[in-house]
Amino acid sequence: MTVSRHVVCPLHELPPGTRKIVLLNGRGPGVGVFNVSGRLYAIKNTCPHQGGPLCLGPVCGTTRAVWPSAGPPQPEWVRDGEILRCPWHGWEFELSTGRLVAPLRERVKTYDVTVEAGADVKRLVTYDIDIEDGYIVVDA
Amino acid sequence: MSTAESVAQEHRQLLRVGVVDCDVHPTLPDADVLRPYLPEPWRIRNTYVGKQTYVSAVGGMRKDAYPSTGGPPASDPGLLEEQLLGRAGVDYAVMIELITGPVPHPDHDVALHSAVNDWFADSWLGPYNDHGRFKGSITLPIDSPAAAVAEIERWAGHPHIVQALVSSVTHQHLGHPQYRPVWAAAARHRLPVATHAGYGGGIDNSLSPIGPYRYQVEFKSITYPQAHAAQLVSLVCSGIFDEFEDLVFVFVEGGFSWIAPLVWRLDNNWARLRSELPHLRRRPLEYLERNVRVSSQPIEEPGNPKSVTRLFDLIDADRILMFSTDYPHYDFDDPTRALPPLAPDSRERIMWRNAVELYGLPEHRPSDRIDRG
């Protein structure tokens, strides 16, 4: 499969804690590009469950069970910032893999996302911007 | 041929099991039989305090099941053998002793359950069981969990005990942590746990979520399945089947048609709200085949029997359904007539194989005096 490269924006336009939804080749529903504490993720903006706009959901953590030696299991909050929760029905996906936290088969497509120096990507964009940092590039 | 040779030959004859009945209700010839098994201060009282809230308009029993020797139906082993093992062709009868349901005073409750287990071992699982075709349940005073554990420890390993038994009427849902030691004990001894509606001194399944019903028909139609549904959801959501992965619950006499839609709904809610239940290692649907069995009687009887066949597909009946008669009650299902048309393999699994696998019963049994008439 051919990989197409898509320049999203200069890194400084997507500071930590923000996201952009970009249309690849001008078509929706697009891809969400997230900067979570400096880690970049790109994930398809469609929930495989009922087609909800996944990338409008909260980025959060999730729970895991802690089993004491006796007594019922207790929930513990873990993986803060690693989980994207669908805004429609709350299905929880790992931002990095697109896999569900729940043991279900459905999965969302994720994309490689890199930061590349301006010189390397200039030929991919039709305009020339004078910037200090690199560009965010999604390989779709 | 000498008599000895003839006996030996008969003993060599093995019969392939064809029917396991997972819901048979033996009872006491009269309440005083239990008295010697009860300590004071309970012995001096009438032994059985249970009264049913709803009473059947046609009587609770098959009218042909009253022994000529007196006593209530299923109190006389001879007539039970003739009607159930003989005429109905049941190979193994898994017995659910509804002698006592939950009663209000916990000490009385514990004493009654313990007495029933003693009496049962001394009768139906003892002298009445020369053929070994009666299999028993340890009835547990479930709302005294420590005593329930003690009963499991007392009876596990008995050659004819195949499961523990709890009322579906409990003070808390069965997933509540207070019951956890009981499930731990059952799991340790590889005993399935059956649950059946229980009756007793004012504590029974008599209420709907919106108050009491007017008719026994309403009670029979909705209450048993409702209690089972609540207990099933509770057990799954509380992670009981994650902690005790091989533990099997048998839902007896509460129907099965509701299971698929209920578990689909549970599955759906879990997918959305999973973070509330991180201890579930599987989707709820998957616990059915691993950890849940249901008995068949009273089988649904819609106008078109093919509707039941379709329902069997939906609930994966080949894996989870086990045939039962409910002998000697008036809503008895006959082994030769109750099931809808089925593929031979499905019929075999439902009529006996699922039960044989669950309870570890032999697939063949020696012919005995009942077979020889």
Q: What is the per-residue pLDDT for B113?
A: 93
Which residue of chain B has the CA closest to A92?
B272
Predicted confidence at residue B169, as pLDDT, reads 82
User: Does A58 score more than 60 pLDDT?
Assistant: yes
Which residue, chain included where needed, has tokens 């931002």? A95
Interacting residues of B302 by C-beta distance below 8 A, sequence separation 6+: B308
Residues of B in contact with A73 (CB under 8 A): 239, 242-243, 278-279
Domain that holds residue A27: 5-134
The boundaries of the domain holding residue B274 are: 22-366
Span B286-308, average pLDDT = 91
Q: What does the pLDDT average to over B328-346?
A: 92
pLDDT, one tens digit per residue, over A85-121 is 999 999 999 999 999 999 999 999 999 999 987 645 5
Asked if residues B255 and B224 have their Cβ atoms less than 8 Å apart, the reply is: yes
Query: How far apart are the C-alpha atoms of B139 and B166, rounded to whole Å?
Result: 6
Question: What pLDDT is recorded for position A119?
Answer: 43
- CB crowding B142-152: b at 16 or more within 10 Å, else e: bbbbebbbbbb
Find the closest chain B residue to A73 by CA distance: B279
And the tokens for B101?
A: 């349901």
Position A70 scores a pLDDT of 82
pLDDT band at B7 (very low <50, low <70, confident <90, very high): low
CB B297 within 8 A of CB B325: yes
Task: Give pLDDT tens digits for B122-176.
Answer: 999 999 999 999 999 999 999 999 999 999 999 999 999 999 999 988 889 999 9
Q: A38 touching B, CB under 8 A? A: no
Weakest mean pLDDT among A55-69, B68-82, B200-214:
B200-214
Amino acid at B155: W
Of A62, A73, A91, the CB nearest to B239: A73
Residue A48's domain is classified under what CATH number? 2.102.10.10
H or E segment and range at residue A41: strand A39-44
Q: Using CB atoms, which residue from B180, B271, B281 is nearest to A104?
A: B271
Residue B11: inside a domain, yes or no?
no
Position A126, amino acid: T
Residue with tokens 């409008």: A56
The closest CB to that of B275, out of A71, A72, A92, belongs to A92
pLDDT grade for B3, boundaries at 50, 70 and 90: low
What is the pLDDT, as a whole number, of residue A130? 42
Per-residue pLDDT at B342 exceeds 80: yes
List CB contacts (< 8 A) between A58 and chain B. Answer: none
B102/chain A closest Cα distance in angstroms: 25
Q: Domain tally for chain A?
A: 1
Query: What phi, psi does B322 have (nearest 5°)?
Result: -130, 130
* Per-residue pLDDT at B373: 80
Test the A interface: residue of B275, B277, B280, B281 with most A CBs within 10 Å: B275
Contacts of B267 in chain A (CB under 8 A): none
A50 contacts chain B (CB < 8 A): no
Block residue for tokens 């053929």: B131
> Contact A73/B275, CB-based, under 8 Å?
no
Determine, yes or no, domain membership for B13.
no
Task: Check pLDDT > 90 for residue A31.
Answer: yes
Structural domain contains residue B150: yes
Label residue B235 by pLDDT band (50, 70, 90).
very high
pLDDT tier at A64 (50, 70, 90 boundaries)? Answer: very high
In total, how many domains does chain B have? Answer: 1
Cα–Cα distance measured from residue B65 to residue B98, given in angstroms and rounded to the nearest whole number: 17
Q: What is the DSSP string of B193-209?
A: EEEE----TT-SS-EET
For residue B287, pLDDT over 60 is answered with yes
A133's CB contacts (< 8 A; 6+ apart) are: A10, A11, A12, A115
CB pairs under 8 A between A and B: 47
Q: Is B289 helix (H, G, I), strand (E, B) or coil?
A: helix
Residue B199 has pLDDT above 80, yes or no: no
Q: What pLDDT is stored for residue A122 in this prediction?
A: 41
CA distance A61 to chain B (A): 10
- B276: DSSP letter: G
CA angle B59, B60, B66 (to 5 degrees): 90
Does residue B258 surpass a pLDDT of 50?
Answer: yes
Question: So what's the pLDDT on residue A117?
Answer: 79
Q: Does A124 score more than 90 pLDDT?
A: no
What local confidence, expressed as pLDDT, does residue A128 receive?
39
CB proximity A91 to B under 8 Å: yes
* CB within 8 Å: A102 and B279: no
CB contact under 8 A, A65 and B276: no
Instruction: Write the CB contacts of B123 (distance below 8 Å, at least 6 apart in sequence).
Output: none
Which residue in A67, A76, A102 is closest to B274 by CB distance? A102
**Closest partner CB to B283 (pick from A49, A92, A102):** A102
Helix, strand or coil for residue A130?
coil
A64 vs B: CB within 8 A: yes
For residue range B27-42, list pLDDT tens digits in order: 999 888 989 999 998 8
Flag whether pLDDT at B77 surpasses 90. Answer: yes
For residue A127, what pLDDT is reported? Answer: 38
Does residue A63 belong to the interface with chain B, where contact is any CB pair within 8 Å?
Answer: yes
- Nearest-CA distance from A139 to chain B in Å? 30
Evaluate whether residue B1 is within a structural domain. Answer: no
Q: What is the mean pLDDT of residues B204-228?
A: 82
Residue range A66-91, pLDDT digits in tens: 999 888 899 999 999 999 999 999 99
Are the Cβ atoms of A62 and B239 closer than 8 angstroms?
A: no
* pLDDT band, residue B4 (cuts 50/70/90): low
Percentage of chain B modeled with pLDDT above 90 = 68
Mean of the pLDDT values across residues B56-62?
85
CB-CB neighbors (< 8 A) of B174 in chain A: none
Interface residue A90 vs chain B (CB under 8 A): yes
Is the per-residue pLDDT at B357 higher than 50?
yes
Q: Is A89 on the interface with B (CB under 8 A)?
A: yes
**Helical H segments across chain A, by residue range:** 118-121
The interface predicted TM-score of the complex, written ipTM, equals 0.80
Find which of A92, A93, A94 to mutate to test the B interface (most B CBs within 10 Å of its CB). A92
Structure-block tokens of residue A50: 């009922």
Residue A140, in any domain of the structure:
no
- Tell me which chain B residue has its CA closest to the CA of residue A49: B271
Q: Across chain B, what does the average pLDDT equal? A: 91
* Binary contact (A91, B272; C-beta < 8 A): yes
Question: Per-residue confidence at B69, pLDDT binned at 50, 70, 90?
Answer: confident
Q: Which of A111-120, B103-112, B291-300 has the lowest mean pLDDT?
A: A111-120
Task: With CB atoms and an 8 Å threshold, state whether A65 touches B239.
Answer: yes
User: The CATH number of the domain where B42 resides is what?
Assistant: 3.20.20.140
Q: Which of A60, A62, A63, A84 to mutate to test the interface with B (most CBs of B within 10 A)?
A: A63
Does residue A113 form part of some domain?
A: yes
* Strand B92-95, strand B134-139: pairing: parallel
